[in-house]
Structure formats: C-alpha cells, structure tokens
A and B are shown apart, each in its own frame.
Chain A
C-alpha cells in the first residue's frame, strides 16, 4: 500500500487536514496533543526518517512542522501542529521516541519559547548564555 494511504488509514481520526502540494510533498495537520502518537507511528511503525522540524510564529499561534522523509520514494510528509496559546506555548517532546529530535527541539525552544514537555535536556543550543532570558529571536515581536 502506498505510504500516504497507509498513513491516511491508520491516522484517520487524528488528521484534521490533508494537503498534497505535489506528489512528493504532503502536509497534514494534527492536534498538538497527538504528536507523540503520530511521530511514534511514522518513525517506529513505518520507518520514516525524521529530517527536521521548523517552528514559526503566525498570527493564529505557533506552528511547528515536523518533516519526515520517506526515502524509498523521496516523499516528504510534513506534520503540522498549531499551538494556539501564545502566552504559555507547550507541546510534548518527541525526543524520548527518537534521540535525533533533541537538538531541534532545543533550538525551537530558544528561538520561539515553546516548552517541550518531557525533553531530557532542554537548555540553550545556539545562543550565548548572556542572551536575555525572555527574548526569542524568531518571534515577530522581537526587536533586534
């Protein structure tokens, strides 16, 4: 069964939106609370490689895209979550599922201020220690 169909079938109660930009670029949305189940299914059950994650400050909330690469076909499946609470944004960490996500979650935390619940080592990755605590460079209100 093509991988897209398998995902659509197994996760049908979790997917809130499915967008096919092109045959090899799929974006589907889920609720933030489902991220651990979905990431685990994609990585462990289907064996899809985790490429990276990109966090973004949007008017509706903080959006994180988790990009998974299915190397057998070259498809990239990007899982979209929207964290609406901008005052205290948080989401479950997927680093306990695969350790390759540790660094990118630290980076998103220090750039956007999103707390990753359950992350084993949430501390600064790129910014200097002297960088002020509450300033998040990728947030739109940040003034350089």
Chain B
C-alpha cells in the first residue's frame, strides 16, 4: 500500500503545504490527518507539510460540521488563503454532515461555505485514504495544466 503511494508521489515535483481547519469535528479525522505525519505514513518525506498559517498553504483540509461559531471562521480562513487554494473535505461530516444535518446548531454543509475540490469520505478516513485523496487531487490539477 505504502509503496504505491511512493510511485505516485514521485511524479509530483512540488511539495504541498497543507493547512488544516477544524469546524466542530469529533477529532478523529484530525488525529488521522496528524497521523499521516508519523513514522508509519510519514508524508513529510514526500514534501507534504502541515503548516501553521493559511497564508502559506496550497491545500485547505476541512474536517467536521460547520456550526454557527465556526462557519464564519471557515469563511475568513478561506478568504485569507492565497489563490489558487484547493479545499478538501475530509471525513463524512465535512462531506455531507451525516447524522448532524438535523441539528439546531448546524446551518449548512462545508461546501456551502467554501468551494470544495475533493471529498474524502470515511469515519474517519484511514491515513492511506487521506494521502490517496490529496494525491489524486494534485494529479488531476496538474493534468489540467
């Protein structure tokens, strides 16, 4: 599994800087995102780096269900991102809100707040799925250029 990633990622020459924004997730997706940095998956060797500021990011990973407090924040974060910035919705909550869609505190799904370029479903998606999703998106974008 890991070796297929190796081949695909070798094709990418640019290192991807990723900013992670959480909008009321249960944090499982966030842990799996952090997990991709750890020795088993270790995406840093491919140049995928988690950055601390949206201003340096190429890709915005969003997890969770936006609620009234985090919806505005997500909009603000996206507005500060240098364009083009690709948005990836990670996890079932970010993709479609699942069981939280009827909640009084959930006004809308992520893709009504920011334009989403890729959806990585899963509850939570495994680290391999997250890497595969990011890679697929980058390849697609590169293919279009």
Interface residues of A (CB under 8 A from B): 127-128, 130-131, 137, 142, 144
Contacts and interface: CB of A to CB of B under 8 A. Distances in A.
Contacts of A144: 102-104
6 contacts: A128-B67, A128-B68, A130-B68, A137-B104, A144-B102, A144-B104
B105 interface: yes
Nearest to A142: B104
Label chain B's interface by main secondary structure: loop
Label chain A's interface by main secondary structure: loop
Contacts of A131: 68
8 A-B pairs with the lowest CB-CB distances in the bound complex, closest first: A128-B68, A144-B104, A128-B69, A137-B104, A130-B68, A131-B68, A144-B102, A142-B104
Nearest to A143: B104
A131 to B, nearest CB: 6
Interface residues of B, number: 7
A129 to B, nearest CB: 8
B13 to A, nearest CB: 43
A9 B37 CA distance: 60
Contacts of B104: 137, 142, 144
Contacts of B105: 127, 137
Contacts of A137: 104-105
A36 to B, nearest CB: 32
Contacts of B103: 144
Contacts of A128: 67-69
A128 to B, nearest CB: 4
Contacts of B67: 128
Interface in B95-117: 102-105
Contacts of B102: 144
B75 to A, nearest CB: 14
A17 to B, nearest CB: 33
Interface string B40-70: 0000000000000000000000000001110
Residue from the set B67, B103, B105 with the largest chain A CB neighbour count within 10 Å: B105
Contacts of A130: 68
Given A127-B105, A128-B67, 11 more contacts: A127-B68, A128-B68, A128-B69, A130-B68, A131-B68, A137-B104, A137-B105, A142-B104, A144-B102, A144-B103, A144-B104
